[in-house]
Structure 1
Amino acid sequence: MILVTGATGTVGREVVRLLSACPGALPGVRVMTRDPTRLVGACRAAEPVAADYRDPASLARASAGVRTAFLVTADVGGDDDAVFLSAARAAGVRRVVKLSAAAVLDPGADDAITRWQRGAEELLRGSGMEWTLLRPRSFMSNALSWAASVRSERVVRTLYGTSSNACVDPRDIAEVAVRALTEDTHAGQAYTLTGPSAISAVEQTEQLGRALGVPLRLEELTRDQARAAWGRRYPAPVVEALLVSADRQRAGAKAQVDAAVGTMTGRPARSFEVWARDHREAFGAVPARESGAGSGDTGPGAGSGAGSPLGAGG
């Protein structure tokens, strides 16, 4: 049995979709969410379980009979990882594949989010279970945070528009995760996951505009404007961590490309241009069924990066 936590999230639901393509896989896939009524697509065909990191008894039920778990947590500074790992170990879970972040490798990254991620990794490595760490750069899907302004104003607003990040398509993260969950050769391994090249918000704006067939312009936010915008969504310590992370990106700390996606999947990592083309509908493009163009998942983003929502990346 494989347990997928965060099954309604950007990466989790894609992990379930890919697992569903494996012959006979879904009877052995359990999806964990606080609200099973939110499950859609392939997740509805898997075994649902209602569980919450704040309810250890529900985690024990979710982990019963599980051999391998995909672990996603997002409560910065919280103890979700510790509570889950305790329940998983007691239930006899053999292996945990953890979604972490590339920033943990940067000795210059000492913000609240990265410290929390490092601590979560340490807990897993010391858990006594087999472990695999996935450390993505920022998600390309962070660009979905621009969707409303692109639809209404043809404008992208972001901090430090010319700084580059080797952001990664969440579908690539999910594909690597599925291999780590289903193959026996990844125990004790950590994989840094990036796109094929570093790209700035200016370049993303240009490529997104081409995908939509409309001109877009970028308005660069000041630090105070970014702080105010993020402050409407996140607590103050997280906002300050995001600002420090953006400073690191401007200094070039997030531009390095890693080959792990290609090595693990046997094909090149997807580019932002491909991601933008596949997600045009989220930005107001004519749906594929009318235009004949392809489209992909347009759910909410996760990660920290160009659009600066919270989560994996760094």
Structure 2
Amino acid sequence: MTTILVTGATGRVGRHVVAGLRAAGVTVRALVRTPDQAGFPADVELAKGDIYDPAAVRRASDGADAAFLLWPSFSSAGAEAVVGELPRRVVHLSSLNASSGGVWGEIEQLLRAAGKDATYVRPGGFAVNAQSWADEFRTGDVVRVPSPEAGRSLIHERDIAAVAVLSLLDDHHIGRTYELTGPEVLSQAEQIQTIARAIGKPMRVEALSAAEARQAMLDQGADPTLADSAVTYWASLVDHPEPVTTTVPRLTGRPALTFAQWAEEHAPDFR
């Protein structure tokens, strides 16, 4: 039976990848730091280890036919050794911005240099990142964001996982790059109001200045360079919203999930 290694298995996308692979009837092996806290069904093999440890990745990859790779750092330091230990067949969770460089582009280059039979799944913004507003929803009636009119085509984490799973199960996808988005552009203000409707609570939106937004990210431990680029990026989306691709429906044969559907599913997180 086919065995597929899933890194980042306990994360927001990884759990759906595990579920999709189990539903397809393959053996799933999850690389996890704390197996007793993973919370997976008994038929999921648990490989204890850290993605940053090449020896742990080597052990987890032993006998695996393919791997789902999520590199969780904003630096590619140490990634070359890890990539070398993965199975030949890899589906990499990259980013829509990978062609512009950065860590995601660097990991893609490492996979190519290592001769991996790779598929590059490049999602745009994750809908699930809207959970960063959850405290404001729960404790008040206003959400403060930078560039409220920034237009984003956020993608449901289940759609990312669906494309990753079908890519892992069919070698037809080797060498392909898939750019994924949600089916529509919504401003950040519209996203907030969509969540408000899902939980039945009126909410107001207030704009954070660029300086306030940057400081808020720094207070949460963000790298200063990342904070600067994020604030600049959000501002750029006011006049130049993110694109919408049709990759999800083309590959899965069903419509991409909307942000409203995501909000309904995650409504308890905001109450």
Q: Is the TM-score greater than 0.5? A: yes
Q: Name the counterpart of 1:51.
A: 49
Q: Name the counterpart of 2:155.
A: 168
Is 1:265 aligned to residue 252 of structure 2? yes
Q: Name the counterpart of 2:225.
A: 237
Runs of 4+ in 1 over 3 A off after TM superposition: none
**Distance in 1 between residues matched to 2:19 and 2:124, nearest whole Å:** 22
Classify the secondary structure of the residue corresponding to 2:212: helix
TM-score normalised by L of structure 2: 0.94
Q: Name the counterpart of 1:7.
A: 9
Tell me which of 9, 15, 18 is aligned to 1:16.
18
- The one-letter code of the counterpart of 1:65 is G
**Distance in 2 between residues matched to 1:171 and 1:6, nearest whole Å:** 15
Total equivalences in the alignment:
268
**Distance in 2 between residues matched to 1:175 and 1:102, nearest whole Å:** 17
- Deviations along 1:249-297, whole A, 9 cap, x unmatched? 3341x5211111001110010110110011110011xxxxxxxxxxxxx
Q: Which ranges in structure 2 are unaligned for 5 or more consecutive residues?
A: none
Tell me which of 76, 79, 89 is aligned to 1:78.
76
Q: Name the counterpart of 2:214.
A: 227
TM-score normalised by L of structure 1: 0.81
Q: Which ranges in structure 1 are unaligned for 5 or more consecutive residues?
A: 285-314
Tell me which of 82, 91, 94 is aligned to 2:88.
94
* Contact 2:95/2:121 (8 A) holds in 1: yes
Q: Name the counterpart of 1:188.
A: 175
Q: Which moved more, 1:201-210 or 1:240-249?
A: 240-249
* Contact 1:73/1:80 (8 A) holds in 2: no
Q: Name the counterpart of 2:242.
A: 255
**Distance in 1 between residues matched to 2:225 and 2:116, nearest whole Å:** 32
Q: Which moved more, 1:231-240 or 1:116-125?
A: 231-240
Greater RCO (CA < 8 Å, at least 6 residues apart): 1
**Distance in 1 between residues matched to 2:235 and 2:43, nearest whole Å:** 43
Report the Cα offset of residue 80 of structure 1.
Answer: 4.3
Report the Cα offset of residue 246 of structure 1.
Answer: 2.1
Report the Cα offset of residue 95 of structure 1.
Answer: 0.7
* Contact 2:76/2:106 (8 A) holds in 1: no
Classify the secondary structure of the residue corresponding to 1:31: strand
- The one-letter code of the counterpart of 1:76 is F
Q: Which moved more, 1:114-123 or 1:268-277?
A: 114-123
- Deviations along 1:112-154, whole A, 9 cap, x unmatched? xx52221111111222110000000100011100001101003
Report sequence identity in percent: 36
Q: Which moved more, 1:201-210 or 1:232-241?
A: 232-241
Q: Name the counterpart of 2:142.
A: 155
- The one-letter code of the counterpart of 2:88 is R
* Contact 1:53/1:83 (8 A) holds in 2: no
Q: Name the counterpart of 2:97.
A: 103
Is 1:35 aligned to residue 69 of structure 2? no
**Distance in 2 between residues matched to 1:4 and 1:144, nearest whole Å:** 24
Classify the secondary structure of the residue corresponding to 1:2: strand
* Contact 1:133/1:191 (8 A) holds in 2: yes
Report the Cα offset of residue 155 of structure 1.
Answer: 2.3
Q: Name the counterpart of 1:205.
A: 192
Q: Name the counterpart of 2:122.
A: 135
Classify the secondary structure of the residue corresponding to 1:250: coil
Q: Which moved more, 1:48-57 or 1:66-75?
A: 48-57
Classify the secondary structure of the residue corresponding to 2:269: helix
Classify the secondary structure of the residue corresponding to 1:146: helix
* Contact 2:150/2:187 (8 A) holds in 1: yes
- The one-letter code of the counterpart of 1:20 is R
- Deviations along 1:164-203, whole A, 9 cap, x unmatched? 0111001000011000011121000000011111111111
**Distance in 1 between residues matched to 2:131 and 2:211, nearest whole Å:** 22
